[in-house]
Structure 1
């Protein structure tokens, strides 16, 4: 809800949100939206398909075309631990070369490279000995992209999605496509977009804010970023997180009181 509000607040262009959620929470989500200023924004809400495992919503990015078959043209993918401080239309206009699948930020080349990143290379996420992965000739020490924020064209992503699903199908218990730090969904995305992505402008993605409880950025530096991303364990709605005040600024309270950030005392 905070992510959507930040997007809507900071653009003057028409918006349409395509949201996918577990089917059980959709009625509450729709009621929540209807009682906030976001009720005037364009909105399509669809349940996660059965292919998305429970408690692994990040798999949904693989099935965007299946979930929203009428979606065409350019789109911005955002996970919920994001706050957008710039005009999203600028990010949407990021040029994508037709032979690539999208624009991503590489984690170990991000502004937060001074942090201790223990899973920043392909070798930590992929089983490079799996036949289908080995055929891609991925260099083990290649920096992984952050897949929680990206820009793509729907026809390009549909092609990538098909390849991702084939990789997932080739994964077995005895010979998985993922390594110690990953899972099948993330491994499939990382493998398919390897060598087929353009860089996302760094001002449009300040990641790793959730890797530690405190991050040594200046307030001015965080304010100047157009998109903040709390990927990692420390989320801005939890009790300890860096710059959570920015997230709380955009949070829209649940009228029913069912959901409440841990940082807001009862």
Structure 2
């Protein structure tokens, strides 16, 4: 009996030893495999064996403040309009705005004085030169429009580092489309072939947002220049244009290539007559007012001029003054 018991005990011990050996062999094999993996990924493992984390999904993203770029042209005789427009924008927006003011040499110093010696001294702005030489061969010598009215044709050249811009005429006030299409001479064959109708709601050349990346991709500037050159050869546009001769090329090139904006962001025609076509309550509730037309808000007979005057800042140099019908309005100068 003792011999049988001893034999059974020996077998059990041997089984236990063999099991232990097998377990150690498996453990050794696994450790060798893990060692190879760690060697292959050594560049991604820290000294304590933890993989470095380059990106934390839970980490809050840093908020990047992007300036809103606004382009506006500054003609000496209309500089008061530029100042009022800039003041209305900077006073009513919560965004960071950079103004790109396109002008010529005869206006630079006057503009700097007006901005630097008034409440606008802290706005962000850049004064850009416009070279009228780019217009040679593209407009007639007796053209009534100022060279700066064509600056909007060359936006990617003026602000090459900006992807999207807001372009505004100097006769707007921001508190929150002018249809030039009737100025075309539809009897001209070149215009008739476009299939345009005088009743079509059109692109507005005085208030627009432009994607300059797309502008450059489609070579919009060259397209505009082509229509300027054709006008010299064929007189495509009506002689009733007055100061709006820059509009036809823009309307042709952007025909059915633009989207509309909220009408409250562009209440227009305020300068088309001396009468008041809108109620005063409506005008006050609008986000953007545009005195497009002959009667500018700094002139004698403009409608709603009292709203515009809220944003006008008197010229510290005394060179510019607004005109009013009554002598008692001289205090607004």
| TM-score with structure 1 setting the length | 0.79
Q: Give the superposition deviation at 1:241.
A: 1.1
Provide the C-alpha distance between the structure 1 equivalents of 2:95 and 2:293, rounded to a whole number of angstroms: 31
Q: Give the superposition deviation at 1:7.
A: 0.1
User: 1:23 aligned to 81, 88, 105, which one?
Assistant: 105
More helix, by proportion: 2
User: 2:157 aligned to 48, 62, 66, which one?
Assistant: 66
Q: Secondary structure at the match of 2:165?
A: strand
Indicate the RMSD between aligned Cα atoms, in angstroms: 2.2
Closer, same or farther in 2 for the Cα pair 1:230/1:205, shift >3 Å?
A: same
Q: How does 1:78-117 map to 2 (within 5 A)?
A: 78-86=168-176, 105=177, 107=178
Q: Which residue of 2 aligns with 1:89?
A: none
Q: Give the superposition deviation at 1:130.
A: 4.7
Q: Secondary structure at the match of 2:108?
A: helix
Q: Give the superposition deviation at 1:171.
A: 2.7
Q: Secondary structure at the match of 1:38?
A: helix
Closer, same or farther in 2 for the Cα pair 1:46/1:29, shift >3 Å?
A: same
Q: Secondary structure at the match of 2:259?
A: strand
Q: Which residue of 2 aligns with 1:143?
A: 201
Closer, same or farther in 2 for the Cα pair 1:188/1:34, shift >3 Å?
A: same
More strand, by proportion: 1
Q: Give the superposition deviation at 1:185.
A: 2.6
Closer, same or farther in 2 for the Cα pair 1:66/1:239, shift >3 Å?
A: same
Q: Gapped runs of 5+ residues in structure 2? A: 1-82, 136-142
Q: Secondary structure at the match of 1:151?
A: strand
Provide the C-alpha distance between the structure 1 equivalents of 2:110 and 2:188, rounded to a whole number of angstroms: 44
Deviations 1:32-87 (A, max 9, x none): 111122221111111222135762532111111222223x222111101000001x
Q: Which residue of 2 aligns with 1:48?
A: 130
Q: Which residue of 2 aligns with 1:231?
A: 292
Q: Give the superposition deviation at 1:196.
A: 0.6
Provide the C-alpha distance between the structure 2 equivalents of 1:181 and 1:80, rounded to a whole number of angstroms: 22
Deviations 1:135-188 (A, max 9, x none): 433234423333111112112334322211122123325x12322333653211
Q: How does 1:202-241 map to 2 (within 5 A)?
A: 202-241=263-302
Provide the C-alpha distance between the structure 1 equivalents of 2:212 and 2:95, rounded to a whole number of angstroms: 20
Length, aligned pairs only: 232
User: 1:167 aligned to 227, 232, 247, which one?
Assistant: 227
Q: Give the superposition deviation at 1:12.
A: 1.7
**Larger mean Cα displacement after TM superposition, 254-263 or 143-152:** 143-152
Q: Gapped runs of 5+ residues in structure 1? A: 87-104, 108-119
Could you tell me whether the CA contact under 8 Å between 1:128 and 1:134 is conserved in 2?
yes
Q: Which residue of 2 aligns with 1:152?
A: 210
**Larger mean Cα displacement after TM superposition, 157-166 or 213-222:** 157-166
- Greater C-alpha radius of gyration: 2
Q: Secondary structure at the match of 1:12?
A: coil
Q: 1:124 aligned to 2:183?
A: yes
Q: Secondary structure at the match of 1:142?
A: coil
Could you tell me whether the CA contact under 8 Å between 1:49 and 1:67 is conserved in 2?
no
Q: Give the superposition deviation at 1:23.
A: 2.1
Provide the C-alpha distance between the structure 2 equivalents of 1:123 and 1:2, rounded to a whole number of angstroms: 30
Q: Which residue of 2 aligns with 1:2?
A: 84
Could you tell me whether the CA contact under 8 Å between 1:127 and 1:176 is conserved in 2?
no
| TM-score with structure 2 setting the length | 0.64
Q: Give the superposition deviation at 1:124.
A: 2.6
